Amino acid sequence: MTETDSLRSSDAAEGTGTNAERPPRLRGIPLLGTTLSIARDPFGFLRSARARGDVVAYEAYGTEFALVFEPAAVETVLVSRADEFRKGEFETDFGELIAPDGILFTEGKRWRRQRQLLQSSFTPDRIRSYADAMVDEAAALVDDWDEGETVALRDAMSTYALRVLTRTLFDLPLESDRAAVVTRAADAVNDYASPGRLALGSILPSWFPDRVEREYEAAMADLESLVDDLVAQRRASEAAGDDLLSLLARAEYPDGSRLPPEAVRDQLITFLFAGHETTATSLAFTCWLLAGDSAVRAELDRELEAVCGGREPTVEDLDRLAYTEAVVREALRLYPPATGVYREPKSDVVLSGYRVPAGTTLQLSIYGIQRDGRWWTDPGTFRPERWLADDEGDDGRCRRLESDPDRPEYAYFPFSGGPRHCLGMRFAMTELQLALATIAGRVEFDRVADSLEPSLGVTLDPGPTEVRVRNRREKGGR
Ligand code: HEM
C-alpha cells in the first residue's frame, strides 16, 4: 500500500474531510452516461474505472454510481458505519423484479424480524444435518455421467445445487419439470437484468414490444404459482417439520395471524435464487479451474486420499480438508458469483478521501478488489496455496488455512460482510467443499475449450463450461 493509500484509508475510517473533493469521474455521452460502455464490455469498463482511482463516479441507466475499490472503504460501508447506509434504489428496483418482500431487499425493522426468523435454518447444527444430502446428491450427479462424456458444468451444477437446496431447506425432492420452472425463471431474470438489456431498457420507450420482458414475466408468473402450490401443500400436510418451507408456511405475526401468501412466496423465491445460482456457478468455476491445473488437482487428490482414504467425505472431515477449502476460497476469489455489493449513503460521506453525496449508488467491487495487485500477488493466477501455511507435525507435513496478516480483511468478501452478510455463507461453504471432495473423489475432467468467457448477469455467469469426463470410478459408502 502506498503512503497516499494509507492516508486515504484513515480518512475513510474516521469519516473526516468535509472539504474533501469529489471522486474522479468516468465521462459518458449525454443522456446515456456510460451505459453503452458497460453494456459493450463490463469487465473492460471495470478495468478503466479501477485505473482512475479507489472511488470512481459514473452515471449509467439514469443512476449516479460510485465504484469502490478500497478494502478500508468497504469495511466502513458494510461494518463500522453500516447504519449510515441502506440498500438503496438500484437494489430495491432489482428486488421488484424478483421478490420485493424477500430478506435480500427489505430494510430496518422488517429485515431484522425476517433475519431472526430465518436464521434458525442456518445454525451450525442444522448445516451439519444437511451434509449427507450434499454428498449424496453430488455422488448421484457423477454416477449419471459416462466415461468420455461431455458435461456442461454450469447446467449440471445448477441441477445439483437446486436439488440440495430443496431437499435440505424445503424437505422435498423437486421433480425435473418443477425444477425447470425455477431454472427458467432464474435465466429469465439474468437476461432481463443483464447490462446489455438494462442499457436497451433505458433507451427504448416503455410501450416498445419487448421479448425479454415478456419471457421474464411469464417465467416469474410460473415460478410464483409453483411456490404458492408448495406452500399450500405444506400447510395442508400433517408432516410439516422444522425445515424452512414448513417454518414459513406456518409463520405467524405476534398477534397470531399468518404471514400473507405474498410474503411467504417472496421469501421462498429469494432462497431459490440466492442459494442456487451462486453455489452452482462457483462449483462450475471450481471444477473448470481444477481441470486446467494438474498440480492443484494432484495436491487435492493427495489430501482426499489421506483424509477420506477412498470413502465419501463427511462433515467431520471438513476440518482436515484444508487444501479443499483453499481451492474453494481461491475459486471464489477469482470468480465471485456476486461481483459487487450495492449500498446508498443516507447522507454525504467521505470514502477513501473522497466526498460521495447522499443517494449515490455505491458499488463495492468484489471482483475488482479480489483481483487487485495491491492485495494479491499474481492476482489473475489460480493459486490455492496462497491460503495455506505449512506445519511440520510428527507425522510429516500438515497444511492449515492462514490469512495473510498484511492483507486488509475486506480484500476478500465474496459473501459481503457486516450485519447483512450472506445468510447462507456457512451452508454454501459446506456444500462447496463436500461437493468438490465427492466429485473429485469419483472423477477427473479435461477441458473441452481452453478459455472461459464469463459474462455478467445477476451473478457472474461462466457460460456452458464444457468438460470431458475422465477416469470415472465407483465408490464405496461413507
Ligand atoms: C457461493 C455461494 C454464495 C455467495 C457467493 C453468496 C453471496 C451473497 C452476497 C454477496 C450477498 C449480499 C449481501 C449484501 O448485500 O451485503 C448475499 C446475501 C444473501 N444470501 Fe448469499 N451467497 C451464496 C450462497 C447462498 C446460499 C446457499 C443461500 C441460502 C441457502 C444464500 C442466502 C442469502 C440470503 C438470504 C442473503 C440476504 C441476507 C440479508 O440481507 O440479510 N446465499 N449472498
Summarised one tens digit per residue, pLDDT across range 338-389 is 999 999 999 999 999 999 999 999 999 999 999 999 999 999 999 999 999 8
Query: pLDDT-derived band of residue 395, with 50, 70 and 90 as boundaries?
Result: low
pLDDT of 473 higher than 90: no
Instruction: Provide the grid cell at 69.
Output: 475499490
Query: pLDDT-derived band of residue 453, with 50, 70 and 90 as boundaries?
Result: confident
Pick the residue whose CA is nearest to atom 41 on ligand 1.
420
What's the 462 CA to ligand 1 centre distance in angstroms?
19
Determine the pLDDT at residue 166: 94
Pick the residue whose CA is nearest to atom 36 on ligand 1.
422
Query: pLDDT-derived band of residue 294, with 50, 70 and 90 as boundaries?
Result: very high
Determine the pLDDT at residue 393: 55
What's the 471 CA to ligand 1 centre distance in angstroms?
35
- Helix, strand, coil percent content, the chain, rounded in steps of 5: 55, 15, 35
pLDDT of 171 higher than 50: yes
Find the mean pLDDT for residues 168-177.
Answer: 90
Whole-angstrom Cα distance, residue 444 to residue 10? Answer: 48
Does the C-beta of 106 come closer than 6 Å to ligand 1?
A: no
Whole-angstrom Cα distance, residue 293 to residue 383? Answer: 10
pLDDT of 64 higher than 70: yes
What's the 295 CA to ligand 1 centre distance in angstroms?
31
* % of the chain at pLDDT higher than 90: 63
The residue type of 133 is: A
Query: pLDDT-derived band of residue 2, with 50, 70 and 90 as boundaries?
Result: very low
Find the mean pLDDT for residues 264-289.
Answer: 94
What's the 204 CA to ligand 1 centre distance in angstroms?
32
Determine the pLDDT at residue 476: 56
pLDDT of 76 higher than 90: yes
pLDDT of 173 higher than 80: yes
Pick the residue whose CA is nearest to atom 35 on ligand 1.
423
Instruction: Provide the grid cell at 250.
Output: 406456518
Determine the pLDDT at residue 457: 73
Does the C-beta of 441 come closer than 6 Å to ligand 1?
A: no
Does the C-beta of 279 come closer than 6 Å to ligand 1?
A: yes
Query: pLDDT-derived band of residue 262, with 50, 70 and 90 as boundaries?
Result: confident
Please give the order of strands across the beta sheet that includes 361-365.
55-60, 63-68, 361-365, 340-345, 85-86
Pick the residue whose CA is nearest to atom 32 on ligand 1.
424
Does the C-beta of 420 come closer than 6 Å to ligand 1?
A: yes
What's the 128 CA to ligand 1 centre distance in angstroms?
19
Does the C-beta of 428 come closer than 6 Å to ligand 1?
A: yes
Query: pLDDT-derived band of residue 398, with 50, 70 and 90 as boundaries?
Result: low
Phi-psi region of 136 (alpha: psi -120 to 50; beta: other; left: phi over 0): alpha
Pick the residue whose CA is nearest to atom 23 on ligand 1.
278
Residues 6+ apart with CB under 8 A from 39: 195, 196, 198, 199, 200
Q: What are the tens digits of pLDDT across the range 193-243?
A: 777 777 666 666 666 667 888 899 999 999 999 999 998 888 888 766 889
Does the C-beta of 271 come closer than 6 Å to ligand 1?
A: yes
Does the C-beta of 274 come closer than 6 Å to ligand 1?
A: yes
Q: What is the DSSP string of 442-462?
A: H-EEEESSS----EESSSEE-
pLDDT of 9 higher than 60: no
Mean pLDDT of the residues in the chain = 88
Q: State the DSSP code for 84.
A: G
Does the C-beta of 424 come closer than 6 Å to ligand 1?
A: yes
Nearest ligand 1 atom, CA 417: 16
Instruction: Provide the grid cell at 142.
Output: 457423477
For residue 29, give the 3-state DSSP assignment.
strand
Does the C-beta of 153 come closer than 6 Å to ligand 1?
A: no
* % of the chain at pLDDT higher than 70: 89
Whole-angstrom Cα distance, residue 78 to residue 275? Answer: 21
pLDDT of 11 higher than 50: no
Nearest ligand 1 atom, CA 165: 30
Strand residue runs (E) in 52-104 = 55-60, 63-68, 85-86
Pick the residue whose CA is nearest to atom 27 on ligand 1.
275
Determine the pLDDT at residue 1: 36
Nearest ligand 1 atom, CA 78: 16
Q: State the DSSP code for 181.
A: H
Whole-angstrom Cα distance, residue 13 to residue 80? Answer: 8
Longest CA span, the chain: 73
Find the mean pLDDT for residues 281-289.
Answer: 97
Find the mean pLDDT for residues 430-453.
Answer: 95
Q: What are the tens digits of pLDDT across the range 308-345?
A: 998 999 999 999 999 999 999 999 999 999 999 999 99
What's the 274 CA to ligand 1 centre distance in angstroms?
6
Pick the residue whose CA is nearest to atom 3 on ligand 1.
278
What's the 145 CA to ligand 1 centre distance in angstroms?
30
Find the mean pLDDT for residues 136-149.
Answer: 96
Whole-angstrom Cα distance, residue 280 to residue 162? Answer: 8
The answer to whether 397 and 99 have CB atoms below 8 angstroms apart is no
Pick the residue whose CA is nearest to atom 34 on ligand 1.
423
Tell me which of 120, 365, 422 to substitute to probe ligand 1's pocket, judged by most ligand atoms within 8 Å of the beta carbon: 422
Q: What is the DSSP string of 210-270?
A: -HHHHHHHHHHHHHHHHHHHHHHHHHH-TT--SSHHHHHHT-B-TTSPBPPHHHHHHHHHH
Query: pLDDT-derived band of residue 81, with 50, 70 and 90 as boundaries?
Result: very high
What's the 147 CA to ligand 1 centre distance in angstroms?
35
